[in-house]
Amino acid sequence: MVKLQKTQVKIFCVALALVFIGSVVAMGLSQLGTSTASAASSSVGVVDYRKVLQSHPDYASASSEMQKAIQEAEMRFQADTAKMSDEDKAKAMQQAQQELQQKEQALTSAIQAKIDVVVKEVADAKGLSVVLDKNVVVYGGQDITDDVLKKLK
């Protein structure tokens, strides 16, 4: 059995601690270099979804149809609630708003589906793994809005 002196044990423990700390620092530095390199070649895209939606060829007709539905709902509301109590008017207003939201969803869902297909095609062509709405991104990402607009037209 090997007999070690106290000073030898202390030196061994300090050396072991230094090796451990050095390896942790080296790992940290290597990860730091990797994250900055991956940030430079980001696989995240951003698209101004509102701009693309409003530029879609079908959006104008959907918008005008929605305006007609709003006008019809207003006229119906005024005619139906002329002799109602305030509580009944509030219920009728809430129901009219729900109907208009459903109408808007029905009108825009087909357009959104077409846009989603084009966004996916552009993202695949550019090698992007994630595409976010530009309004939720603070910094970074490759803007593909113009590419999506070109492909829609």
What are the boundaries of each domain within the chain?
1-41, 42-152
pTM value?
A: 0.60
List the structure tokens of 98: 């729900």
Average pLDDT for 149-153: 86
Distance, in Å, from the CA atom of 119 to the CA atom of 148, rounded to the nearest integer, reads: 6
| Position 71 pLDDT exceeds 60 | yes
The CATH superfamily of 42-152 is: Skp domain (3.30.910.20)
Distance, in Å, from the CA atom of 119 to the CA atom of 103, rounded to the nearest integer, reads: 25
Closest CA to 133 of 49, 66, 28: 49
Distance, in Å, from the CA atom of 91 to the CA atom of 42, rounded to the nearest integer, reads: 50
Write the pLDDT tens digit of every residue in 20-44.
676 666 666 666 554 444 444 568 9
| Position 144 pLDDT exceeds 90 | yes
Widest Cα–Cα separation across the chain: 104
Q: Could you tell me the sign of the dihedral formed by the alpha carbons of 133, 139, 142, 146, in that order?
A: positive
Write the pLDDT tens digit of every residue in 80-136.
777 778 888 888 888 888 888 888 888 888 888 999 999 999 999 999 989 998 888
| Position 52 pLDDT exceeds 80 | yes
CA-to-CA separations, 100 to 27, 70, 110, in angstroms, rounded: 57, 7, 17
What is the model's pLDDT at position 37? 43
DSSP state letter for 3: -
Average pLDDT for 59-65: 87
Average pLDDT for 64-69: 87
